[in-house]
Chain A
Amino acid sequence: MKKTGTAAAKALCLLLALFMVFSLAACSGTDAGGDDEEKIVHTGKNVKSPSGVKYFTKNNLTVDMININSDGSVRTIDYPAGYEYSQMSDDEKEKWDAEEVFFSGHYMQVSGLKDKDVEEIVNEKLKNLCLDNINKIPPYRGIKAEIGENPESAKEGYKSAYQSVELNDNNILSVTMYVSGSYKSVLVEKNEYGYDNSVYFAFQETLNLDLNTGNDIGIVDMFCNDVDALACVNEAINEAIARGNGDEEIWDIGSDVKIAAPFTGISADQKYSINNSGINIVLDYETPEFDTGYYPAFVTVPFSDKVAVSERFFDEKESIYESEAPVSKHFPYSIQDAQNIEIVADEYKTIGENGTIYLIRSANCPKSVPKYIKERMSDFVNIPEEEILSEINEKLPEDANLSRIVGDYSLTARVDEVGPFVNITYSGYKYVYEGRQDDSEEQKDYFYEEISRRETYDTRLEQNEPIELSDIFKEDADISGIIKQAFIDSINKSLDSENSTRLENSDKLPAFKTGSSNEIEKLNEEYIDKLYDNIIYFSIDCESIYFTFETLPAEIYREIYGTDPFEDDNAIYINAVGWIAYDTLDCDKLTIFDL
Chain B
Amino acid sequence: MKRKKLLCMCIALSLLLSAVVFWGCTANEDDNAPVDDELAGLSFTTETLPKIDGATALAPYYELMASKLLNVDIEEARQWVLCSKTDGAYRNLINGSVDIIFCSLPSEDQQRMADEAGVEFEMTPFLNGAFVFFVNKSNPIESLTVQQLHDIYAGKITNWSEVGGDDVDIIAYQRPNNSGSQTGMYHYIISEDEIMEAPTEMKISEMGGIIDAVASYENSEGAIGYSYYYYVTSMHYTDQIKLVQIDGIEPSDDTIANGTYPLINPSYAIINANTPEDSPVRDILKWLVSPSGQETAREAGYVPRIADSADEE
Contact = CB atoms under 8 A, between A and B. Distances in A.
A144 interface: yes
Contact of B25 (A27, A192, A261): A27
27 contacts: A7-B6, A11-B6, A11-B10, A15-B13, A15-B14, A18-B14, A19-B13, A19-B14, A19-B18, A21-B14, A22-B15, A23-B18, A23-B21, A23-B22, A26-B25, A30-B26, A139-B76, A142-B80, A142-B84, A144-B46, A145-B79, A187-B51, A189-B96, A190-B97, A245-B207, A245-B208, A248-B206
B13 A139 contact: no
B292 to A, nearest CB: 21
B253 to A, nearest CB: 16
Given A30-B25, A145-B52, A246 B18 contact: no
A260 B236 CA distance: 10
A264 to B, nearest CB: 11
Given A14-B7, A191-B88, A291-B56, A30 B98 contact: no
Interface in A251-269: 255, 258-262
A299 to B, nearest CB: 15
Contacts of B236: 241, 245, 259
B118 to A, nearest CB: 15
A192 B79 contact: no
B205 A255 contact: yes
Looking at chain A, what size class is its interface with the partner chain? 35 or more
A25 interface: yes
Contacts of A191: 84, 88, 91-92, 95, 97
A259 B208 contact: yes
A255 B59 CA distance: 18
Interface stretch (B31-39, B156-164, B209-217): B209-217
A446 B217 CA distance: 45
B78 interface: yes
A149 interface: yes
Nearest to B209: A245
A29 B204 CA distance: 46
Nearest to B92: A191
Given A145-B82, A291-B59, A139 B75 contact: yes
A149 B46 contact: yes
Given A144-B80, A245-B209, A291-B56, A26 B21 contact: yes
Contacts of B74: 288
Interface of A: 7, 11, 14-15, 18-19, 21-23, 25-27, 29-30, 139-146, 149, 187-192, 241-242, 244-248, 255, 258-262, 288, 291
B10 A188 contact: no
A238 to B, nearest CB: 10
Given A27-B22, A191-B84, A246 B212 contact: yes
Contact of A23 (B17, B95, B96, B216): B17
Shortest 6 CB-CB distances between A and B: which pairs? A22-B18, A26-B22, A245-B208, A245-B209, A18-B14, A142-B82
Contacts, number: 142
B60 interface: yes
Contact of A188 (B53, B95, B237): B95
Interface in B15-62: 15, 17-19, 21-22, 25-26, 29, 46, 51-53, 56-57, 59-60
A140 B88 CA distance: 17
Q: Is the interface of B mostly helix, strand, loop or mixed?
A: helix
Given A241-B236, A242-B212, A246-B217, 13 more contacts: A11-B10, A18-B10, A18-B14, A23-B22, A25-B18, A142-B79, A143-B79, A187-B97, A191-B95, A192-B91, A245-B209, A246-B213, A259-B236
Given A11-B6, A18-B10, A144 B79 contact: yes
B235 interface: yes
> Which of A15, A149, A188, A191 has the most chain B CB atoms closer than 10 A to its own CB?
A191
Contacts of B25: 26-27, 30
Nearest to A261: B60
B270 interface: no
A139 B81 CA distance: 12
Nearest to B13: A15
Contacts of A25: 18
A9 to B, nearest CB: 12
B79 A141 contact: yes
A288 to B, nearest CB: 6
Nearest to A248: B205
Contacts of B6: 7, 11
B136 to A, nearest CB: 14
B21 A27 contact: yes
A291 B86 CA distance: 14
Nearest to A259: B235
Contacts of A291: 56, 59, 83
Contacts of B3: 7
A510 B85 CA distance: 56
B180 to A, nearest CB: 11
> Which of A11, A188, A258 has the most chain B CB atoms closer than 10 A to its own CB?
A258
Interface string B233-258: 01111000000000000000000000
A27 to B, nearest CB: 5
A22 B82 contact: no
Contact of A14 (B10, B52, B97): B10
A247 B213 CA distance: 9
B97 A18 contact: no
B11 interface: yes
A23 B23 CA distance: 11
A140 B82 CA distance: 10
A262 B79 contact: no
Contact of B56 (A21, A139, A258): A258
Given A141-B83, A142-B83, A246-B213, A22 B14 contact: yes
Nearest to B79: A144
A140 B78 CA distance: 8
Contacts of B301: 261-262
Given A23-B18, A246-B212, A260-B56, A140 B79 contact: yes
Contact of B60 (A29, A187, A258, A260): A260
A284 to B, nearest CB: 12
Nearest to A190: B97
